[in-house]
A and B are shown apart, each in its own frame.
Chain A
Amino acid sequence: EPEVTQTPSHQVTQMGQEVILRCVPISNHLYFYWYRQILGQKVEFLVSFYNNEISEKSEIFDDQFSVERPDGSNFTLKIRSTKLEDSAMYFCASSERGQGIQYFGAGTRLSVL
């Protein structure tokens, strides 16, 4: 069964460093998403992406965040200058249609020290 793949599974970084979280969505899907879950809190929507542009973003997704689909298969989330409060599990998801079911990867645990 096709699946969403995220790498790395765990990323440790120093505060102020840039990180790139990588995702390979399901191949025929057109809509892509990032969510995050800070430990003990709810999963929160960050951004959705379609047709090579952001279609919706939350207030969390400020100028420190960016997304890109650099080629036909990868979808990345970049955090330019990480803060301690960026420590969380980051989930990538994709869907075939805008209102379709979202399929999730296993997540990347980001630890900012």
Chain B
Amino acid sequence: GDSVTQMEGPVTLSEEAFLTINCTYTATGYPSLFWYVQYPGEGLQLLLKATKADDKGSNKGFEATYRKETTSFHLEKGSVQVSDSAVYFCALKARAGNNRKLIWGLGTSLAVNP
């Protein structure tokens, strides 16, 4: 079945460091891909998305490119801030039929130190 694999955390970085969180997926067809973020005490918020190959999603300085050839959707940010400390989730949604469920990675906790 469809699945998402994320790099394990926790990830600890200093402010202004470069961030990469790896995400790969297994799916039939061409799913839509998402990154959600969960700040402490809050719900899951959509960070960015991409719906087809080579699309780049971006938001708040974060980027991820839908790579069909490597079945990947890695999250990157050039310079992290303390306020980026959160748990980041990669997810996919298959396109087949009426399928609307999101399939999730395990989540990667990020801590950014000043």
Contact = CB atoms under 8 A, between A and B. Distances in A.
Interface residues of A, number: 27
Nearest to A55: B98
A8 interface: no
Contact of A106 (B42, B49, B91): B42
Prevailing SS type, chain A contact patch: strand
Interface in B14-57: 32, 36, 41-46, 49
A45 B43 contact: no
Nearest to A40: B106
Contacts of A3: 43
B73 interface: no
B99 A103 contact: no
A58 interface: yes
Interface in A16-70: 31, 33, 35, 41-45, 48, 55-56, 58
A25 B101 CA distance: 17
A103 B91 CA distance: 14
Contacts of A91: 43-44
A52 to B, nearest CB: 16
A105 to B, nearest CB: 5
Given A41-B106, A43-B89, A43-B104, A98 B43 contact: no
B100 A55 contact: yes
Contact of A101 (B46, B104, B105): B46
B82 interface: no
Contact of B101 (A33, A42, A107): A33
A55 to B, nearest CB: 6
Question: Which has the most chain B C-beta neighbours within 10 Å: A3, A42, A105?
Answer: A42
Nearest to B3: A42
Contacts of B46: 101-103
Contacts of B98: 55-56, 98
A107 B43 CA distance: 6
A4 interface: yes
Interface of B: 32, 36, 41-46, 49, 89, 91, 93, 98-107
Name the 3 nearest CB pairs between A and B, nearest first. Answer: A45-B101, A104-B44, A43-B104
